[in-house]
């Protein structure tokens, strides 16, 4: 046994399936079943030592796992019953559990799976073994019915419960598996449980085989994986690759339904022997290997090696061989070839994340010291215990000449399964080698590597850097950027990538037509994205796909990926959801990203921890015509992906060689070289998820660059936009570098100012400042002014002007800057009479671009004009009908033209002219002076004011007055006057406008009024004998015996008698006539009712006299 274990260890086998139960007998002491006869030749004979304990101890000492190979339901191979043993064989102890099965001349005994007590019986054996031994796993064989003819009719009648018999039989096995798994979990949760089902689960189209595990022997093993009651299956795929059924096709069928658990390819190494001489030909036909052998023996060792390669290519987690004896005997040199080729390097046992997904912490404080020659001692300290308190099972030491060391490559292991914290290793060279250490726990979870040490050189832990240089502050057209890369750590630059991004005034993007992409999904899904599967939206400034029912979501965008380029794809991703098959990733280098599997493309897929299918893995796919290359993933690599945790992902892809590097959080996950890489120019990129709620963010695509890169500028080029304003750049050149030690730089960015559009044209250029002129005198300075230009991108920094005698010549004043001034005076420029001069102007923006040239319409230089028109007058304000003398005072004039609106004459050509203005008003005067070359005009508006003459006129309220109180009131009816002189004829005067005057003596008086205004002569009106003043008091008592007035005093009426014809006036004491009446009959009545009480004079006129009487009115 020791020799066998050593021999297997030489070929790096890491697990043995040790048959502890063959036919109802055991290779360890038990209270339930007898000792096996394989050790002593006698059933029930104790060999004197615990075989299983010994095998476990020796295998573990060699770093190998031991899985107890347990033949389940087949318990005896003979038509006769086993002998009596202690304990009894089950055929003896529980004959009711057992049924015979006859095939041809062969008879075997089988436990009846339909009897519930059988399950209990087997579970007790397994629990006893698991409790007593430090096993690593249980490997069930013959965990099935022999075939459909098995005699269990009575059992079915008792326990069938109405189920379909086929379903009932499958359920019997499946129930045993579930119960047993639960028992084992309760005792040793880390113990692995698996089995070796027959090779064909259900017939595969085109593979032509008719013995199916599911239908013929009721072995529903894939349901055990799906239910989580099996950790692995090792299907007995005992066929070659070339003939049907084909090994590779059958294995892919198993890999396609493994539900996140392990598949180990069962390989028929026994088939290298002759069919006739092969020892297994003497077995019963009931044995599966006999069924598949028939005429197909004599395999070469190359067939076995090819099957190893095939199983690795399709992602199987290992290989299991039947039987060990063929390897031990080195049939066809198989052992030699294995250890020289496929098994040259040791293999870590794959972890089972559903049992333990917590990796140990990293070993600490790795140091190195020289022992001798190329031998080095490595020391480290144990890691801190992780959350599950799992201790370290062993350490692996890695060595490489490249930093960082790729710990996914087993070829870099220099010391395997080290159980101490120190080891001496031989580097094999005096050149520098790097070393690092990882820890493994009992679940074979590997830690992150420790620090790295070098045997000669210090480890490069410094990120590479670069410096950018370019010409000019502003870029107006395509420009070159020079990169000066440096790796301060000394390992050298491995990759240099760049990306040109542009700013549209709102956000930074990149032109995907040039192989760049930049989207941070801040606010909205941009229109360059299209999604035809899934529910995509922006959530918390990230792209979010929420349709967990969809197994193949798709959001895609155009991205030109030119064959021959090397690309860097980076993005952030967080995978979540409620299911048990959470997965997501990216399609890149797509020929048509809108199709189901993006037509021709590559896909990187990540599956999360806790999945039932391939948890914590990274899978690489290639598609042609929407179909997997090789029918499944090309490579599957362990990669921790915790649900709902953000990770940074990066891909480096060389489209020429097909070489791919995959990184998570800047740590290398895996590399792969596509055997037949796509050779087209790709057009798309796509995010894909399956049955998950996934967040994506910060998708960026870079291209590999040389030391100089040309960046194109223009509306459809790499940089599509100019600066939105002079201080906000429109371009960033982003750089990412990786050195040979695996250090990634930060994103190194350089912002550039872009303006590729000229300033606005100057709208107007004027000859003259403020006003456009057409002529200028020979002694005057030329000048020009122009409207402002504008440039939103880089601003206007200056204007340039020139003076020319014809547009476009700039032959008088060359192009000269005016700064930001928009006018110029041409000092010192000598002009020529009759010559036209033009000013041309252009605006210069901050980027140095010039607007189109704008030119004035020109100004002509003319001879100097000394003619000055002017005149004077002896007056400007006159009275109507008066005259004014006009005299020209013009300089250098030889002729005149006068215009006198309203005057007489109305025009004249004399140098002096007398003009009479007959009518009142305001009048313009125009004089045009001329000489042989020029004319000049003086036009005076409202220059002459003609005022009206005053007209005297008045009236008095009464012209006959009586003393006393003889008061005359005058009404002034004068026109055009504002000053007055009155003479009332009795030496009384006044200057009032409408005065009154009191006469104190009797008489007849002449009244004179002189009316005047400011500008014209006065006018005098004399009214001769206008006022008569009498004194009635002297004749009051004059009586006439023939004229009577009564009553006196009177109140309402007076009666006058004695005259037939006459006139009567009633006069108050002020001399004013207040009432009068004509008399036409001898007796007349006068109504005095309206007069106030008082004394009045009654003056009675007859034909020849008048008399006055005084009356009193009461």
pLDDT per residue over 917-938, tens digit each? Answer: 999 999 999 999 999 878 999 9
Cα–Cα nearest to 582, from 309, 736, 353, 385:
353
Q: In the CATH scheme, what is the code of domain 364-454? A: 2.60.40.10
pLDDT of residue 1070: 67
pLDDT of residue 1041: 64
pLDDT digits (tens, 9 = 90+) for 137-193: 999 999 999 999 999 999 999 999 999 999 999 999 999 999 999 999 999 999 999
pLDDT digits (tens, 9 = 90+) for 416-460: 999 999 999 999 998 999 999 999 999 999 999 999 999 887 767
Q: Inform me whether the pLDDT recorded for 1069 exceeds 80.
A: no
pLDDT of residue 1040: 57
Output the six-digit token pair for 490.
């000394």
pLDDT of residue 720: 97
Separation of alpha carbons 720 and 503, rounded Å:
8
pLDDT of residue 1034: 60
Q: What is the mean pLDDT of residues 295-310?
A: 87
Separation of alpha carbons 619 and 476, rounded Å:
46
Separation of alpha carbons 1100 and 499, rounded Å:
133
What's the pLDDT band for 289 if we cut at 50, 70, 90?
Answer: very low
Q: In what order do the strands lie in the sheet with 479-486?
A: 465-469, 479-486, 708-711
H or E stretch at 9: helix 2-10
What's the pLDDT band for 400 if we cut at 50, 70, 90?
Answer: very high
Q: What's the distance, CA 646 to chain centroid?
A: 19
Separation of alpha carbons 386 and 392, rounded Å:
10
Q: In the CATH scheme, what is the code of domain 765-862? A: 2.60.40.10
Task: Please compute Rg for the chain using Cα positions.
Answer: 64
What class, spelled out in words, does domain 1036-1113 have in CATH? mainly beta
Separation of alpha carbons 105 and 78, rounded Å:
10
Q: Inform me whether the pLDDT recorded for 281 exceeds 80.
A: no
The vertex-483 CA angle with 477 and 488, nearest 5°, equals: 160
Cα–Cα nearest to 543, from 519, 576, 568, 527:
519
Taking the domains of the chain in order of start, what are their residue ranges? 16-195, 216-239+248-344, 364-454, 503-705+724-731, 765-862, 871-947, 954-1031, 1036-1113
Topology (CATH level 3) of domain 503-705+724-731 = Jelly Rolls (2.60.120)
| Pairing outcome for strands 907-908 and 895-899 | antiparallel
Separation of alpha carbons 76 and 23, rounded Å:
5
pLDDT of residue 1025: 93
Q: Please, which residues bridge with residue 961 across strands?
A: 1029
pLDDT digits (tens, 9 = 90+) for 494-549: 999 999 999 999 999 999 999 999 999 998 999 999 999 999 999 999 999 999 99
Q: Which CATH architecture has domain 871-947?
A: Sandwich (2.60)
Output the six-digit token pair for 984.
């009332």
pLDDT digits (tens, 9 = 90+) for 864-916: 778 899 999 999 999 999 999 999 999 999 999 999 999 999 999 999 999 99
Separation of alpha carbons 592 and 1010, rounded Å:
117
pLDDT digits (tens, 9 = 90+) for 227-265: 999 999 999 999 999 999 999 999 999 999 999 999 999
Residue 409: C-alpha distances to residues 425, 671, 718, 1019 (Å): 18, 10, 39, 135
H or E stretch at 166: helix 165-187
Output the six-digit token pair for 532.
């035809």
pLDDT of residue 139: 98
Cis peptide before 169 (omega within 30 of 0): no
The vertex-521 CA angle with 519 and 522, nearest 5°, equals: 120
For residues 499 and 734, the answer to whether their CB atoms sit within 8 Å is: yes
What 3 state SS string does 820-849 have? CCCEEECCCCCCCCCCEEEEEEEEEECCCC
For residues 597 and 217, the answer to whether their CB atoms sit within 8 Å is: no
pLDDT averaged over every residue in the chain = 93
Cis peptide before 323 (omega within 30 of 0): yes
Q: What is the mean pLDDT of residues 715-735?
A: 97
Return all residues near 1017 (Cβ < 8 A) that are at least 6 apart. 879, 949, 950
Residue 443: C-alpha distances to residues 240, 353, 606, 959 (Å): 33, 8, 21, 149
Same fold, 364-454 and 1036-1113: yes
Q: What is the mean pLDDT of residues 1034-1057?
A: 78
Using CA of residue 365, residue 370, residue 374, residue 375, what is the dihedral sign?
Answer: negative
Q: In the CATH scheme, what is the code of domain 954-1031? A: 2.60.40.10
pLDDT of residue 1031: 81
The pTM for the full model equals 0.50
Q: Inform me whether the pLDDT recorded for 287 exceeds 60.
A: no
pLDDT of residue 829: 95
pLDDT digits (tens, 9 = 90+) for 197-214: 999 999 999 887 778 999
> What percent of the chain has pLDDT above 90?
82
Residue 983: C-alpha distances to residues 516, 988, 990, 1002 (Å): 115, 6, 7, 17
What 3 state SS string does 237-291 have? CCCCCCCCCCHHHHHHHHHCCCCCCEEEEEECHHHHCCCCCCHHHHCCCCCHHHH
């Amino acid at each position: 046994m020791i020799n066998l274990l050593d021999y297997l260890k030489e070929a790096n086998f890491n697990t043995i399936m040790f048959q502890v139960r063959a036919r109802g007998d055991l290779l360890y002491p038990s209270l339930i079943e007898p000792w096996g006869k394989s050790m002593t030749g006698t059933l029930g004979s104790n060999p004197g030592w615990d075989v299983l304990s010994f095998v476990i101890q020796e295998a573990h000492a060699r770093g190998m796992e031991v899985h107890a190979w347990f033949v389940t339901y087949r318990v005896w191979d003979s038509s006769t019953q086993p002998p009596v043993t202690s304990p009894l064989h089950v055929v003896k102890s529980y004959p009711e559990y057992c049924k015979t099965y006859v095939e041809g001349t062969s008879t075997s005994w089988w436990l009846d799976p339909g009897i519930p007590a059988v399950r209990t019986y087997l579970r007790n054996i397994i629990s006893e073994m698991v409790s007593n031994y430090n096993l690593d796993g249980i490997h069930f064989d013959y965990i099935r019915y022999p075939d459909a003819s098995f005699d269990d009719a009575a059992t079915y009648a008792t326990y069938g419960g109405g189920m379909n018999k086929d379903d009932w039989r499958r359920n019997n096995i499946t129930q045993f598996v579930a119960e047993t798994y639960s028992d084992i979990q309760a005792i040793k949760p880390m113990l692995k449980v698996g089995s070796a089902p027959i090779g064909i689960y259900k017939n595969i189209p085109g593979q032509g085989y008719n013995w199916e595990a599911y239908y013929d022997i009721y072995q529903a093993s894939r349901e055990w994986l799906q239910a989580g009651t099996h950790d692995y299956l090792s299907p007995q795929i005992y066929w070659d690759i070339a003939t049907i059924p084909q090994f590779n096709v059958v294995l892919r069928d198993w890999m396609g339904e493994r539900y996140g658990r392990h598949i180990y390819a069962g390989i028929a190494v026994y088939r290298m022997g002759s069919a006739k001489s092969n020892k297994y030909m003497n077995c019963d036909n009931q044995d599966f290997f006999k069924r598949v052998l028939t005429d197909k023996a004599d395999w070469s060792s190359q067939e076995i090696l090819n099957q190893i390669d095939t199983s690795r290519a399709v992602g199987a987690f290992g290989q299991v061989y039947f039987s060990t004896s063929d390897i031990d005997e080195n049939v066809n040199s198989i052992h030699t070839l294995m250890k020289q080729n496929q098994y040259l390097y040791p293999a870590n046992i794959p972890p089972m994340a559903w049992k333990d997904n917590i990796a140990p912490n990293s070993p600490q404080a790795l140091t190195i010291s020289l022992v001798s020659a190329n031998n080095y001692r490595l020391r480290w300290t144990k890691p801190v215990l992780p959350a599950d308190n799992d201790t370290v099972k062993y350490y692996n030491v890695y060595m490489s000449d490249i930093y960082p060391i790729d710990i996914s490559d087993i070829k870099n292991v220099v010391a395997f399964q080290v159980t101490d914290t120190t080891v001496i290793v031989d580097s094999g060279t005096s050149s520098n080698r790097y070393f690092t250490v990882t820890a493994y726990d009992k679940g074979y979870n590997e830690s992150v590597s420790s620090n790295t040490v070098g045997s000669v050189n210090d480890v490069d832990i410094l990120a590479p850097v670069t410096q950018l240089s370019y010409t000019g502050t502003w870029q107006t057209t395509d420009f070159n950027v020079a990169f000066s890369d440096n790796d301060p750590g000394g390992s050298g630059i491995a990759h240099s990538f760049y990306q040109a991004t542009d700013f549209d005034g709102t956000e930074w993007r990149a032109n995907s037509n040039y192989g760049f992409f930049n989207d941070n999904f801040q606010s909205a899904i941009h229109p360059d994205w299209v999604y035809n599967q899934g529910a995509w939206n922006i959530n918390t400034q990230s792209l979010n796909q929420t349709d967990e029912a969809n197994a193949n979501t798709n959001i895609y965008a155009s991205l030109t990926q030119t064959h021959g380029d090397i690309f860097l794809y980076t993005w952030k991703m967080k995978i979540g959801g409620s299911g048990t098959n959470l997965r997501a990733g990216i399609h890149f280098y797509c020929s048509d990203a809108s199709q189901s599997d993006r037509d021709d493309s590559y896909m990187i897929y990540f599956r999360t921890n806790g999945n039932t299918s391939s948890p914590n893995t990274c899978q690489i796919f290639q598609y042609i015509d929407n179909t997997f290359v090789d029918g499944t993933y090309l490579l599957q690599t362990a990669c921790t992906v915790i649900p709902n945790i953000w990770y940074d992902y990066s891909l480096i892809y060389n489209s020429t060689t097909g070489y791919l590097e995959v990184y998570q959080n800047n740590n290398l996950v895996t590399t792969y070289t596509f055997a037949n890489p796509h050779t087209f120019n790709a057009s798309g990129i796509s995010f894909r998820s399956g049955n998950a709620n996934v967040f994506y963010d910060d998708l960026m695509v870079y291209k590999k660059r040389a030391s100089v890169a040309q960046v194109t500028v223009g509306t459809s080029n790499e940089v599509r936009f100019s600066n939105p304003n002079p201080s906000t750049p429109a371009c960033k050149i982003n750089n990412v570098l990786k050195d040979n030690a695996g250090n990634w730089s930060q994103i190194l960015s350089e912002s550039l100012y872009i303006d590729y559009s000229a300033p606005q044209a100057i709208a107007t250029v004027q000859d003259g400042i403020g006003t456009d002129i057409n002529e200028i005198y020979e002694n005057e300075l030329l000048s020009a002014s122009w409207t402002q230009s504008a440039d939103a991108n880089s601003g206007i920094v200056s204007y340039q002007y020139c003076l020319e005698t014809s547009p476009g010549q700039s032959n008088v004043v060359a192009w000269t800057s005016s700064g930001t001034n928009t006018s110029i005076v041409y000092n010192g420029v000598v002009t020529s009479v009759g010559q036209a001069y033009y000013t041309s102007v252009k605006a210069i923006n901050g980027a140095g671009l010039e607007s189109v040239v704008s030119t004035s319409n020109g100004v002509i230089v003319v001879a100097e004009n000394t003619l000055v028109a002017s005149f004077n007058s002896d007056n400007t304000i006159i009275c109507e009908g008066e005259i004014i003398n006009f005299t020209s005072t013009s300089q250098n004039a030889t002729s005149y033209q006068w215009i006198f609106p309203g005057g007489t004459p109305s025009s004249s050509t004399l140098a002096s002219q007398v003009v009479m203005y007959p009518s009142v008003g305001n009048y313009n005067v125009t004089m045009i002076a001329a000489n042989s070359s020029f004319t000049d005009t003086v036009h005076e508006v409202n220059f002459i004011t003609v005022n009206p003459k005053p007209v005297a006129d008045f009236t008095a309220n009464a012209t006959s007055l009586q003393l006393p109180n003889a008061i005359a009131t005058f009404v002034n009816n004068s026109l055009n006057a504002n000053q007055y002189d009155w003479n009332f004829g009795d030496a009384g005067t006044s200057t009032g406008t409408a005065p009154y005057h009191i006469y104190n003596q009797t008489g007849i008086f002449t009244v004179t009024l002189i009316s005047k205004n400011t500008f014209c002569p006065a006018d005098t009106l004399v009214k001769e004998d206008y006022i008569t003043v009498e004194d009635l008091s002297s004749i009051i008592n004059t009586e006439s015996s023939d004229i009577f007035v009564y009553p006196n005093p009177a109140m309402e009426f007076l009666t006058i008698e004695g005259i037939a014809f006459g006139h009567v006036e009633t006069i108050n004491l002020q001399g004013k006539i207040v009432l009068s009446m004509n008399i036409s009959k001898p007796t007349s009545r006068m109504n005095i009712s309206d007069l106030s009480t008082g004394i009045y004079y009654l003056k009675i006129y007859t034909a020849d006299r008048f008399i006055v009487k005084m009356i009193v009115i009461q």
